[in-house]
Amino acid sequence: MLQRTLSKRSLLLTTSENQSALIKCCALTIGMLTTALFVIPSAQAASCKIPKSYYKNVSCTASSGYFLAVKDFGAPVALIDKQGKSLVDLTRYQKVDADKISAGLLPVMRNSHVGYLNMQGREVIPVMYDVLNDGQGWARPVSEGRIVVKQGGHYGVIDTANRTIVPFSAAISDIDDYRGGMARVRKNKAISWLDKEGNIKNANTQSTNTQNAGVKKDSSKSNDGKSAKNSRVNDRTAASKSEVKPSARANSTQKNSASIPINRFTTLQPRQQDGRWGFVDDNNVTMITYSFDEVRPFSEGLAGVRIDAEWGFINLGGELVIPFNFKDFDGSNNFNDSNNKSLSLDSRYKDKPSFVFVADKAWIGRLENGTKMCIDKEGAAVACD
């Protein structure tokens, strides 16, 4: 009887010891997890060390080695480096999203429009797209070389050279960012998948071009007279005064009809539609969409174009080759360059208007002392003849 009582007591002690050990083990595990939760942010914080600088408010960005300086109320001031030195002036922008720096491009907002800036301060994607309100912020990051944007209230996709990959369409209600070379698109309550060239990819069907799927690329009219400035409407590549290769659409059409001739041209002509300017070929086919507030005719392979109050130059392929560094000064015929030197456009250069190339030079006006100002085809200031 005594032995049985002792056995029960031993069992109770053993059980109590096991429970105590279990409690200690759980406490240790919870402690380790809690420690881990605090260690991880600390490690992340250690990997981003704010540099010393004269800027008051500095934070880390999504790109190592770059830091964002802002004013007290959040307005962007500059991107700075690890030494606290200013790299890019951001004061002309309403907002920037430094958490979405990707592929070396920073989303920026000016006058409630979105564009993208590289780490050298150049607007490689002009500030011309709509602010997004799809729950993912006012702009999307670059994803696998593609950017989801909106224009005229319609979704589309561009690449980092501002070429249109998925044409803007009212039928598209949403587009996901690219992952693994594919993006999910919601169109008329149906879901499809697009590859990086804008072609529909379905599990049980072969690749079909978006033009054949109802997302049609604009060839003669845009939905609202606006389209991506550098988009090549028929995906043509061109050089100055040279033959242009037929577009993918033309090639696919020629397979079905040999009677359609290859379109050739030596230059493009300005044309206005719905208050915007674009360029057409000799057959009146839109080659550069109606995106501009004002244009100059092509000369020596380049054309001066204006969006809002800023002038730049595009080539025959619709690519922006000289950025919008020349701004309308006061709404009259006065302009200034990036250094804010006042320019007067009250005369001509070699019998050509401003922003037209002649002998590899384009006149951009005069300084107040009468000195003529010109640029070369790289956009650098040169002496006028």
Long-range CB pairs of 267-270 (<8 Å, 24+ gap) are 267/241, 267/298, 267/316, 268/298, 268/303, 268/316, 269/297, 270/295, 270/296, 270/297, 270/303
Residue spans of the domains in the chain: they are 248-382
pLDDT computed for residue 261 by the predictor? 39
* Exposed / middle / buried, residue 230 (Cβ in 10 Å: 0-12, 13-18, 19+): buried
List the Cα angle 20/24/27 in 5-degree steps.
140
313 pLDDT more than 70: yes
In this predicted model, which residue has the larger pLDDT, 84 or 260? 84
pLDDT computed for residue 327 by the predictor? 65
Mean pLDDT of the chain: 72
346 pLDDT more than 60: no
Token digits of residue 91 = 């004061």
- Beta 372-375 vs 361-366: how paired, if at all? antiparallel
In this predicted model, which residue has the larger pLDDT, 118 or 221? 118
pLDDT computed for residue 20 by the predictor? 53
179 close to 193: Cβ distance less than 8 angstroms: no
pLDDT digits (tens, 9 = 90+) for 370-384: 777 888 998 888 888
331 pLDDT more than 80: no
Q: What's the CA gap between 170 and 56, in Å, rounded?
A: 44
Residue among 181, 177, 187 at smallest CA distance from 137: 177
pLDDT digits (tens, 9 = 90+) for 86-98: 999 999 999 999 9
Residue among 135, 177, 132 at smallest CA distance from 151: 132
In this predicted model, which residue has the larger pLDDT, 215 or 122? 122
Q: Give residue 68's pLDDT band: very low, low, confident or very high (50, 70, 90).
A: very high
Q: How many residues does the chain have?
A: 385
- Which range of 70-74, 227-231, 317-321, 340-344 scores highest in mean pLDDT? It is 70-74
pLDDT computed for residue 202 by the predictor? 60
Write down the H helix ranges in the chain: 2-47, 248-256
In the chain, the amino acid numbered 153 is: G
Q: Give residue 13's pLDDT band: very low, low, confident or very high (50, 70, 90).
A: very low
Residue 323, strand partner residues: none
pLDDT digits (tens, 9 = 90+) for 150-191: 999 999 999 999 999 999 999 899 999 998 899 999 887 788
| Ranges 26-35, 127-136, 220-229, 275-284: which has the least confidence | 220-229
Q: Distance from CA of residue 243 to its chain's centroid?
A: 29
Provide CB contacts within 8 A for 291, sequence distance 6+: 128, 226, 227, 228, 229, 276, 277, 278, 305, 307
Percent share of the chain, pLDDT over 70: 64
- What is this structure's pTM? 0.46
Across 336-347, average pLDDT = 46
CA distances, 281 to each of 62, 267, 276, 285 (Å):
43, 7, 17, 5
pLDDT computed for residue 266 by the predictor? 58
For 219, other C-beta atoms within 10 Å of its C-beta total 16
Q: What's the CA gap between 245 and 260, in Å, rounded?
A: 14
For 294, other C-beta atoms within 10 Å of its C-beta total 15
CA distances, 142 to each of 99, 107, 159, 182 (Å):
12, 9, 8, 14
Q: What's the CA gap between 170 and 167, in Å, rounded?
A: 10
For 33, other C-beta atoms within 10 Å of its C-beta total 9
pLDDT digits (tens, 9 = 90+) for 101-153: 999 999 999 999 999 999 999 999 999 999 998 778 999 999 999 999 999 99
231 pLDDT more than 90: no
pLDDT computed for residue 162 by the predictor? 93
Across 35-42, average pLDDT = 36
